[in-house]
Chains A and B, each alone.
Chain A
Amino acid sequence: MIIELREFTRVEGNGKAEIVVEDGEVKNVRLKIVEGPRFFELLTLGRHYYDVPDLEARICAICYLSHSVASVMAIERAFGVDVPEEIQLLRELGLIGELLESHALHLYLLVAPDVFGYPDAIRMATKHGELVREGLAIKAFGNRLREIIGGREIHGINVKPGGFGRYPTVEELELFERESGALLKLARRAVRLFASLEPYGEKAEHFVATDGYLWGDELVSDEEGTFHYTERIEERSLVYSFAKQSRYNGEPFLVGALARLLLKADSLTPMAKRLFEEHREKLATGYVSYNNLAQAIELVYSLERANEIAKTLLDKGLDGENIPIEVREGEGIGYVEAPRGVLIHHYRIDGSGNVVYSNIITPTALNHTMMELSLLREAKRGYGELDEGSLIQRLEETVRAFDPCISCSVHIVKL
């Protein structure tokens, strides 16, 4: 017997699951990504490098800037270009905005209704209006950062190889400094709320992240030093899904907020570090549901870090100079931590500046195996115990904990 779950709600994109039951026992779960393919790698082939980040941004609206930045980094590496600290800090600020926008959306609008037993945040707002508004305030601030650094709330084209179309003004930096400070209190409240969630889903045993907090030159994992994705991560196609599945050294693994905290706690800001220490034991169990708690701690990190960066830039002042690009043949990989985890853009560019090879791997594709295992575990636990409605609710919550971004996951190609 196969139980078909309807399409998931309160997740980004279109996906559903099938539970395979034999002799009264759950035997298997298939996570089906039904979102149609969008062929992004094919789209970029033959295109001039300058236009590529703007196209790749369209892979996903929730994390468009992660795609632009990863794309720009891969292009700069292919050309052997290094950008100065100022440009790096501004990009980081944009990525922080994205993290805030994405985590706030996920935690306050998509997960919180589960905590309080509502079908959505709008209906939840009648009783918990303050919480919803707090979430919206953090989200709006994140979007403000994306708008100013990225050029628009969604799909801005301001991030370019070598720099920016437009640099922020002193007034804008001052606003970032002020608002990030003011919002910190709200984020700390969120940590308390999401710390109360019980563990569910599978326990992850392997974690992978980039070697810096929000991007890196290579990847890191819990058991070895740095490595390139081609050395340890393998993808395969499935017959029942538009998204591929990945393994790390042949094993399932987790990327995202929980992986970042567990692998890179040393680089956290002071308050975020204290909160991490406070909840370390819980987080270290590896239950995927604690990804929600990890995201809440990252809200605190992001606001503290945005404040630091704004201060630094205000002290030093902005030069607002782009680094000139000289086209040459080359190959480069950009590793960025999108809100949901490791994002990889890999290109080869020819002597006239056109892309001739492109490979993109998104966090949701990397987490696909872990997601399926988590569903399997919850289906086994709940089948026969819970009525169908509650079982489905629990499975939805389990998928939601990953904060999956289904649109993102369907563009994976190796040519």
Chain B
Amino acid sequence: MMEKLKLAVFELTDCGGCALNILFLYERLFDLLEFYEISEFHMATSLSGENHYDVALITGTVSSQRDLALLKEARNHSDYLIALGTCATHGSVQASVEGSIRKKLEKVYGDKGNPMRALDSKPVVEYVAVDFALPGCPYDKEEIYQVLIDIAKGVEPVRKDYPVCIECKLNEYECVLVKKNLPCLGPITYGGCNAACIRSGLGCIGCRGPLPGEVNPASEYEILKDLGYDDDYIIRKFKTFARWEP
């Protein structure tokens, strides 16, 4: 039998969702285990201590010296490294909290300064080169399943390059932006969630991060302004999952 690939899951500072989502594959986790053996997955196993991984999944942001050291360690010891989830790819909510780390710590912990060598939260991709980036807060678990199967079969996984809007059209969901005047970031957000929030009749809050390329944040901005939302509100909404300049 073919030798199994060594898979690692490393969790930096985050909500745990992107690691947990792997366990939510349920029975199909066992299908993945036909190809992979889990060598490091802190949330799920007490085993660890390998020094080489074929595929490493990194979730979370770099928010402390511990995170940074762990990230470098993971990069140095793995062949194929995936930044998994919006924390890792764009910084997600914690990276959108403005102000310097020192000021923030002071506000929270009093004047003791920086008790544990915290860093300002940044996505993994700002520190190391990654072989693949899969956004989503959390990402769609079908997607990671496919990506891992592709890699196991020696196929380079495909990155989605269309906005959430396309998925609304495919599902024939009513457009909440046009029909309900809800602030929806679907037009400028990476697709791949199958328009999960629009299924609930609510506007996309942009959890998969901004789609680069042809999309037009300026026109989204104008649409929201026309609907009566003020600048401050729109900018904060844009910047919730990724610090970017609209």
Contacts and interface: CB of A to CB of B under 8 A. Distances in A.
A9 B137 contact: no
B93 A58 contact: yes
A101 B105 CA distance: 33
B38 interface: yes
A113 B118 CA distance: 34
A412 B92 CA distance: 19
B63 A153 contact: no
Contacts of B61: 36
A155 B17 contact: yes
A109 B202 contact: no
A120 B46 contact: yes
Contacts of A9: 42-43, 45-46, 48
B97 A151 contact: no
Contacts of B93: 38, 40, 43, 55, 58
A36 B200 contact: no
Contacts of B233: 48
A119 interface: yes
Interface in A179-226: none
Given A47-B236, A64-B17, A165-B201, A122 B44 contact: yes
Given A34-B116, A120-B45, A415-B107, A59 B15 contact: yes
B230 to A, nearest CB: 10
Interface in A250-286: none
A59 B16 CA distance: 9
A239 B109 CA distance: 9
B interface residue count range (under 10 / 10 to 19 / 20 to 34 / 35 or more): 35 or more
Interface in B167-208: 196-197, 199-202, 205, 207
B23 A60 contact: no
Contact of B16 (A55, A120, A407): A407
A interface residue count range (under 10 / 10 to 19 / 20 to 34 / 35 or more): 35 or more
B98 to A, nearest CB: 8
Given A122-B33, A151-B200, A239-B115, A61 B138 contact: yes
Contacts of B129: none
A7 B42 contact: yes
Interface in B104-149: 104-105, 107-110, 112, 115-116, 118-119, 121, 137-138
Interface string B18-41: 101101101101100100001001
Nearest to A415: B107
B46 A165 contact: no
Given A11-B43, A240-B115, A60 B121 contact: no
Nearest to A120: B45
A307 to B, nearest CB: 22
B15 A58 contact: yes
Most buried by A among B46, B63, B199: B46
B46 A396 contact: yes
The list of the 4 closest CB pairs from A to B, nearest first, reads A36-B63, A61-B17, A120-B45, A36-B13
21 contacts: A9-B48, A10-B42, A12-B16, A14-B42, A14-B66, A37-B63, A38-B15, A38-B93, A38-B97, A39-B104, A42-B104, A43-B97, A58-B92, A64-B15, A105-B20, A119-B45, A119-B47, A122-B33, A139-B26, A158-B200, A244-B109
Interface of A: 7, 9-14, 34-43, 46-48, 51, 54-55, 58-62, 64, 105, 109-110, 113, 119-123, 125, 136, 139-140, 143, 151-158, 160, 164-166, 237-242, 244, 396, 405, 407, 412-413, 415
